[in-house]
Amino acid sequence: MSEIDFTGRVAVVTGAGGGIGRAHALLLAARGARVVVADVGGAAEVVAEIEGAGGAAVAATASIATAEGGEAVVRAALDAFGRLDIVIHNAGILRDSSFAKMTEAEVADVMAVHLEGAFHVLRPAWPVMREQRYGRVLLTTSASGLFGTFGQANYAAAKAGLLGLMNVLAVEGARHGVLVNALSPTAATRMTEGLLGDLADRFDPAHVAPVAAYLVSERCALTHHVLSAGGGRVARIFVGTTPGVYLGPDPATPEAVENALDGVLSLDGYVVPEDGTGEVALIRRALLGEDA
């Protein structure tokens, strides 16, 4: 099989001044992509690395925590390279605190970069991709948002919000050739310092970048998927629904719900709906007495 190649493609990678984002940018550039290294710090150094290796890159240092910053990042791609094919939204910050002690600023700052930042970059990028009928978008979610981590309510809510954004953009982008997926990475970076214990040296961001590169490649036909990557392991994460239990045409009692819990919670026969109407179809089948 031939190598996955990005020659002629232009990619924006947010949070690319270090860690996972840097690994994404370096790999895409090594495979021929022209890269906008978007970060408020470290972008120039990564651009120098890419150019030193014979690649093409420009730095975008505006903060994507504002709409103006997101517009500037997209404009950097169009001004320097004349097109935009790929957006990897990787930028993020941590403001860890237990929920009881979390301040308003700690919530707002994290939301502004992770969740609002995705909107700020993608809103100007989206019409460009739609018009050219090609695009690849990769959002960075997290196990904290998907499963929960103590002390990260702000971060987890933002990362779970990105999952919702991915779900909708995948549906809306399909007819325009824009594929949208999410990546849940685990890597040793400044953000995870001290969290990975004695295995930290096994979680090089270089393990994550190839998964991201595949998901934003022309060869990838996946959309509406979440992949987990870290330490050399790659897995799928998904939101599904069980077939459920039909409690009858009349409103049930709380006791009936309690009695049906074993069936409600059983994972046997679960399905992964393609969009929000998928679960409605399951409910309809139950109401009509059809087999799910």
Per-residue pLDDT reduced to its tens digit, 65-113: 999 999 999 999 999 999 999 999 999 999 999 999 999 999 999 999 9
Supply 201's token pair. 């040296």
Catalytic residues: 155
Confidence of residue 292 (pLDDT cuts 50, 70, 90): very low
pTM over 0.85: yes
pLDDT tens string 155-177: 999 999 999 999 999 999 999 99
Amino acid at 29: A
Predicted local distance difference test score (pLDDT) of residue 187: 81
CA distance 11 to 244: 43
- Of 145, 234, 142, 233, the C-alpha closest to 192 is 142
Pairing, β 135-140 against β 34-38: unpaired
Kindly give the residue spans of alpha helices, DSSP state H, lying in the chain. 19-30, 43-52, 67-81, 104-132, 143-147, 153-173, 209-215, 254-259, 261-265, 277-288
Amino acid residing at 291: D
